[in-house]
Amino acid sequence: DRKINSSTTDSAGTGRVRDEIAFVSNDDLPEPVLYADGCVDDTKIIMLCQKQEMERLGMTVSSGTVIIKKDTTNLIGISIGGGAPLCPCLYIVQVFDGTPAAKEGTLQSGDELLGVNGASVKGKTKVEVAKMIQAATSEVTIHYNKLHADPTQGETLDIVLKKMKHRLVERMSSSTADTLGLSRAILCNDSLVKRLQELERTESMYKGLVEHAKRMLKAHFDVLQTYQQFGNIFAAISVREPQPRASEAFRIFSELHRNLEKDGIKMIKSLKPILADMGTYLHKAIPDTKLTVKRYADAKFTYLSYCLKIKEMDDEEHSYVAIQEPLYRVETGNYEYRLILRCRQEARVKFAKLRSDVLEKIELLECKHARDLASQLRKFIQGLSTLASETVERLESIPNLFPIEVDLKSSAFQYKSALKFQPAEELEEEVHQAEEAIEIPPISAKPANGSGGRNTIDELLAGFEEIDLNRSCTASTAETNNDLLVELGLADIDLSAGASTLGANLLEDPLIPDLGDFGK
């Protein structure tokens, strides 16, 4: 009985060992350090371990088991690659989004499949393994070797060059890229491209609106300064006018122009928040979205580069199969290919996240554009309409001031000038001859009684007629106007420069590069 029991135990133990061996891959080899001083067989094991380490490209693996529930289509959501007769192992090529395998989150691209529901898959083809998974009822137990890969290891110079090529091809048409023979990966039915084009057109339209509005307000400001100068001039005339009725008329006229200037400045200040809101949308919201788009484009080009790299490696495998030649990386576990698969999966996750962020920000911008633009333009037009109605009311409120009777002195049109007026016709017919210049001494008037003090005053105040008393006032007025322009946000507007038309901004194609003066 004892022998029978022992033999039964041995057979049971052997069965367990077989089950364990069924899920052991070539990666589960002893550490070479333990056999540093061993025999010849141990040296062979060391060399085998070192060779296996080189084939794995320095990556490590760890075994595990996961249970995945099937969906209604009797699938778990993975695609399988490798397998007999070319590759010694089977591995996961892709985990599809929204499937049971993706929701469970354990399996990743590049992981090796060891068994399905307790049955070993070693030596089987990928079609046979797929049938084994489909044969399960509601749950599938997957035995796997997790590949611990470093994504930076897969970002080689080839991937960097492919990213640069995708950036270059992005600005080309498909026919041009095909003519140049540039291979690339593209996203089919990418709706985000059209959304980005609409964002570019919206930005161009806002630039035109803001520039046009600022130039119009700057033109209003210049007209208002003219009103102010009119008011100051007529106020000075009213002060010096001796006739009361004319002085009052000039005063009312000056006050009217000053009030028009005040109403206009009030209108511009009321419209300033509208321009500030449009500027916030143009200079903050849109650039922030474009920065996210830039990060999204980098992730997109990285993902497309890995897709193109995988396509090239697949073509290489097919070419070797066509000539019936073995490919070394496939025969040794295809670790390089599995590394690129893992890098592509992580690049796809980052790409999908940034894509959702870009779509969300673009939707927010479009909602704000549709909601705020109409109200902002309505407020802008109402502000101009209010100014026009107030101007008409002020003009109608004042009495009829003209014509104005002004008392003039008999010497009002007598000018002190040494030159005699001659008609233009006589000047044209007259022939000028050169004469010798003769210096004429100044004529000194005879001092009358008490005129000695007058000469003394002229000597003391000599040169005072050259002093401009309005110069300081002009400088202070210019400084005040500059401060007011800065306050209104119109200091950088130059009306002398040509303005780009709003229609050109709306019809501008953002995908066409700027050719400068080449096409002119």
Pick the more confident residue, 270 or 493: 270
Q: Where residue 121 sits, what CATH number does that domain have?
A: 2.30.42.10
How far apart, in whole angstroms, are the C-alpha atoms of residue 492 and residue 211?
11
Q: Is the domain of 93 the same as that of 211? A: no
Do strands 78-82 and 90-95 pair parallel, antiparallel, or not at all (unpaired)?
Answer: antiparallel
Q: Is the domain of 126 the same as that of 213? A: no
Q: Is the domain of 118 the same as that of 89? A: yes
pLDDT digits (tens, 9 = 90+) for 269-290: 888 888 888 888 888 888 888 8
- Which tokens sit at 154? 């897969």
How far apart, in whole angstroms, are the C-alpha atoms of residue 166 and residue 156?
16
Closest CA to 202 of 289, 273, 276: 289
Q: Is the domain of 70 the same as that of 106? A: yes
Which phi and psi (to 5°) does residue 11 adopt?
A: -65, -40
Statement: residue 451 has pLDDT above 50: no
Q: Where residue 245 sits, what CATH number does that domain have?
A: 1.20.1270.60
The verdict on residue 102 lying in a domain is: yes
The Cα angle at residue 165 between residues 150 and 172, in degrees rounded to 5: 145
Mean predicted confidence (pLDDT) in 437-441:
56
Q: Is the domain of 39 the same as that of 75? A: no
Q: Is the domain of 215 the same as that of 316? A: yes
Statement: residue 10 has pLDDT above 60: no
The verdict on residue 408 lying in a domain is: no
The verdict on residue 321 lying in a domain is: yes
The verdict on residue 256 lying in a domain is: yes
8 A C-beta contact, residue 192 and residue 261: no
Q: Residue 51: what pLDDT?
A: 52
The verdict on residue 162 lying in a domain is: no
How far apart, in whole angstroms, are the C-alpha atoms of residue 368 and residue 302?
32
Q: Is the domain of 265 the same as that of 390? A: yes
23: domain range?
A: 1-55
Q: Residue 438: what pLDDT?
A: 57
The percent of residues above 70 in pLDDT, for the chain, comes to 68
Q: Residue 405: what pLDDT?
A: 78
Statement: residue 509 has pLDDT above 80: no
Q: Is the domain of 277 the same as that of 374? A: yes
Which of 347, 374, 401 terminates a domain? The answer is 401
Q: Residue 27: what pLDDT?
A: 44
Q: Is the domain of 78 the same as that of 201? A: no
How far apart, in whole angstroms, are the C-alpha atoms of residue 26 and residue 228?
93
Q: Is the domain of 258 the same as that of 367? A: yes
Own/partner pairs, 166-170, CB within 8 angstroms, 24+ separation: 166/301, 166/304, 166/305, 166/308, 167/297, 167/301, 170/297, 170/301
| Average pLDDT score over the chain | 75
Per-residue burial over 4-36, b = 16 or more CB atoms within 10 Å of its CB, e = otherwise: eeeeeeeeeeeeeeeeeeebebbbeeeebeebe
Q: Is the domain of 78 the same as that of 42? A: no
Which of 366, 401, 436 terminates a domain? The answer is 401
Q: Residue 233: what pLDDT?
A: 92
pLDDT digits (tens, 9 = 90+) for 212-239: 888 888 888 889 889 999 899 999 988 9
Band (pLDDT 50/70/90 cuts) for residue 62 is confident
Q: Which helix (H) or strand (E) holds 104?
A: helix 100-104
Pick the more confident residue, 450 or 197: 197
Statement: residue 310 has pLDDT above 80: yes
DSSP 451: -
Q: Which helix (H) or strand (E) holds 82?
A: strand 78-82
User: What's the domain count of the chain?
Assistant: 3
The verdict on residue 347 lying in a domain is: yes
Q: Is the domain of 137 the same as that of 101? A: yes
**Beta partners for 49?**
none
Which of 148, 179, 204 terminates a domain? The answer is 148
